[in-house]
Amino acid sequence: MARQKWQEWNENEDNLAILRAWARAGLTDEEIAKKIGISRSTLAKWKKDHEPIREALAHGKEHADRLMENSLYRIALGFEVKVKKAFKLRRTEYDGSGKKVKEEEYLDTAEETEYVKPDVKAIIFWLKNRMPEDWKEKVEQAEADDTGTGVLVLTPTQIEALRDEVQQSGKEKGEGSQAGGKIPVGSPGKAGRNDGPPGV
């Protein structure tokens, strides 16, 4: 009896390793199903009915998620990284009498440690997802008082965006005033008017 297709993936360790690798790479179930040559619904049935396939995909995705989580954590805190840099050097040779006989330039490399600063966006993303009650984006409108006013509560990111918008609006208005607000020399009632006595 011929082996069914699910058996080729469920009972073959090499194929299970491929499933884990695809999951680690971030492929969706639909993309994985397409690579196998089946529909997404068929893959869903395989996962439900066959534990090795289910565990291979789950383990691969969990491993990828943990790697991404760790990378985000490092970016949010800041980290050090080793980088190689090229330097141009000069080599000079002298003979026994001290006379220069040869001079040449060459490239050499050296390893330096650079510090990557914490990423504010990564910090905000982490806090909003790990501590949503304290860091979620929210706008609260207080009840209006007798004068019809209320209190608007904004998050720091919203305040920053609002400030940028106001500054940009101010720049545009300032440019418009400079372009259209000049008073021509000699206009009535201004620079062209002579208020002195007759004959002066």
3-state DSSP of the chain: CCCCHHHHHHCCHHHHHHHHHHHHCCCCHHHHHHHHCCCHHHHHHHHHHCHHHHHHHHHHHHHHHHHHHHHHHHHHHCEEEEEEEEEEEEEEEECCCCCEEEEEEEEEEEEEEEEECCCHHHHHHHHHHHCHHHHCCCCEECCCCCCCCCCEECCHHHHHHHHHHHHHHHHHHHHHHHHHCCCCCCCCCCCCCCCCCCCC
Q: What is the pTM of this model?
A: 0.41
pLDDT per position as a tens digit, 124-183? 888 888 888 877 765 555 555 555 555 555 666 667 777 777 777 766 666 555 555 444
Q: How many domains does the chain have?
A: 2
Q: What is the pLDDT of residues 60-98, one digit of tens each?
A: 888 888 888 888 888 888 988 888 888 888 888 888 888
pLDDT of 200 strictly over 60? no
Range of the domain at 59: 5-76
Q: Is residue 28 located within the same domain as residue 61?
A: yes
- Give a yes or no: residue 10 inside a domain: yes
pLDDT higher for 136 or 40? 40
pLDDT of residue 190: 44
* Residue 50: per-residue pLDDT: 93
- pLDDT given at position 36: 92
Task: Flag the least confident range among 39-43, 82-86, 114-118, 148-152.
Answer: 148-152
Query: Is 98 inside any structural domain?
Result: yes
Inside any domain, residue 186? no
- Contacts of residue 5, Cβ cutoff 8 Å, sequence gap at least 6: 36, 37, 38
| Contact status, residue 64 vs residue 26, Cβ threshold 8 Å | yes
Percent pLDDT > 70 in the chain is: 70
Q: Are residues 53 and 14 in the same domain?
A: yes
